[in-house]
Amino acid sequence: MLEARFVRENIDAVRRAMDDRHAVWDFESFLLLDEERRTLIGKVEVRQARRNEASRLIGGLMKDGLRDEAEALKAEVRAINDELTAYEVHLDRVDEEVTDLLMTIPNLPHASVPVGADENDNIEVRRWGTPPEFEYPPKAHWDLGPELGIIDFERGVKLAGARFVLMGGMGARLERALINFMLDLHTSRGYKEWWPPVLANGDTLRGTGQLPKFEDDLFKTSDGLYLIPTAEVVLTNIHRDEVLEAEGLPRRYTAYTPCFREEAGSAGRDTRGMIRVHQFDKVELVKLARPEESMDELESMVADATLVLEKLGLAYRVIVLCTGDMGFSAAKTYDIEVWLPSYTAYKEISSCSNCWDFQARRASIKYRSPGEFKGSRLVHTLNGSGLAVGRTVAAIIENYQQADGSVVVPEALRPYMGGVEVITAEI
């Protein structure tokens, strides 16, 4: 979240940033609450100073035998204490209201982010690879998968409901192979692997910005825990309320988890196949970095995610999101889009973001460098998919399909598939 003092002292710049993001926020309520808070703090400080002065005088009066004067000051101190109690209760309430309001304002876009209204204003950065050309009408993964007997959408609906997928045989093995392949690749490049919980408490979700704003997108248990929408949530919060050493930064973490999203507000979007579902597998990348290194770490994170696609031989493009299309916590985001023949277009398969100190302030993740500065400072947090596994399965099926309905296994995956080179129809 943003710091109250920063918002107050840079109110016009913050307003412009929210306009660029096409975000609506209650600035007037914030300014009124912030003024009330500062007024209360002033009153508390004045009374604390008077109480301290009176307490100091009481001892001298008692020593000089001026008991009546001392008792009068004692009565004044008691009255001041009563006032302070009332003011502190009031101040706690206002502090809570200010914090709640600041929890709902999105991050400020980095200066390098293009200003725009929506996805139509995103800017392509580069492309890699050439989309395949077919001598026959290529099939979509939602047709080819069931024909091969490796994806069963109908039974997924029977087992759980709409937007759930059942995979079997070589489909299940392909999913597992991709997870292991991605994790091995990322750990070889310096990421530490974790196996985190897939249930998280409210503090964890608030730390990365999913709460309170996006509660409708989350699955919640009866005892107040949430199914995570992404491993970013738990990986980032590993060091919540901690102070790290500067020499140990950046921290680079990766994890495979299933992810769960209500997809509230997405009715009618990508209703077929594995692109937009309630449960999906993902290998996540998270970094905690020093502020001066975080933008370089964002570029290297994009390189780590795109390397997966390059090794799989899947054509992709990288775009930088404009101000109106960025996520709530992001200061800058690159989307990586893989070519899908079923759409005759590139579709998002990873989103890599630098959240600056926005999440770190919410989660209180700091670092210290005694030889550089006193005290501690907030780290910068970064996250990205490395990659969304189900979408990668869909991309492989569609891009590597053959005229006879079989699917060639990318060479890099064959060691993870027990040497299987071609997926053919199975019962």
Give the tens place of pLDDT for each residue, 26-38: 999 999 999 999 9
The pLDDT assigned to 265 comes to 58
For the question of residue 16 being annotated catalytic, the response is: no
Band (195; pLDDT cuts 50, 70, 90): very high
Angle at the Cα of 293 (from 290 to 299), degrees rounded to 5? 130
pLDDT beyond 80 at 149: yes
Query: What pLDDT sits at residue 263?
Result: 79
Domain 4-102: give its CATH architecture: Orthogonal Bundle (1.10)
| Active site (annotated) includes residue 189 | no
348 is catalytic: yes
Q: Do the two domains 4-102 and 119-423 of this chain adopt the same fold? A: no
Residue 264's pLDDT band (cuts 50, 70, 90): low
**pLDDT attached to residue 143:** 98
**Marked catalytic residue, from 294, 342, 351, 385:** 351
Eight-state DSSP code of residue 110: P
Copy the structure tokens of residue 25: 């926020």
Reported as type and span, the H/E element at residue 207 is helix 202-208
Give first-to-last CA distance, the chain, whole Å: 52
Chain Cα centroid distance, residue 106: 12
**Tens digit of pLDDT for each residue in 265-314?**
565 667 789 999 999 999 999 999 999 999 999 999 999 999 999 999 99
Domain locations in the chain? 4-102, 119-423
What's the pLDDT score for residue 361? 98
Look at residue 21 in the predicted model and tell me its pLDDT.
Answer: 98
Catalytic residue among 76, 290, 348, 369: 348
- Tell the CATH topology of 119-423: BirA Bifunctional Protein; domain 2 (3.30.930)
Set 47, 93, 189, 276: catalytic member:
276
Q: What pLDDT does 427 receive?
A: 75
Mean pLDDT of the chain: 96
Identify the active-site residue in 206, 251, 252, 261: 261
- pTM value > 0.95: no
Known catalytic membership, residue 240: no
pLDDT surpasses 90 at 106: yes
Q: Is 235 exposed, middle or buried (0-12, 13-18, 19+ CB in 10 A)?
A: buried
Q: What is the pLDDT of residue 422?
A: 98
What is the pLDDT at residue 270?
Answer: 73
Task: Provide the β-strand partners of residue 251.
Answer: 288
Name which of 318, 315, 312, 317 is nearest 341 in CA terms: 315
pLDDT one-digit tens code per residue, 347-356: 999 999 999 9
Give how far the C-alpha of residue 325 lies from the chain's centroid of Cα atoms, to the nearest Å. 15
391 tagged catalytic: yes
Query: DSSP states of 278-330 as a string?
Result: SEEEEEEEEEEE-GGGHHHHHHHHHHHHHHHHHHHT--EEEEEPPTTTS-TT-
Annotated active-site residue in 51, 173, 361, 391: 391
As a whole-number percent, the residues of the chain with pLDDT over 90 amount to 92
Strands of 57-207, DSSP E: 123-128, 151-152, 166-167, 192-194, 199-200
Q: Report pLDDT digits (tens) over 205-216.
A: 999 999 999 999
Letter for the amino acid at 253? Y
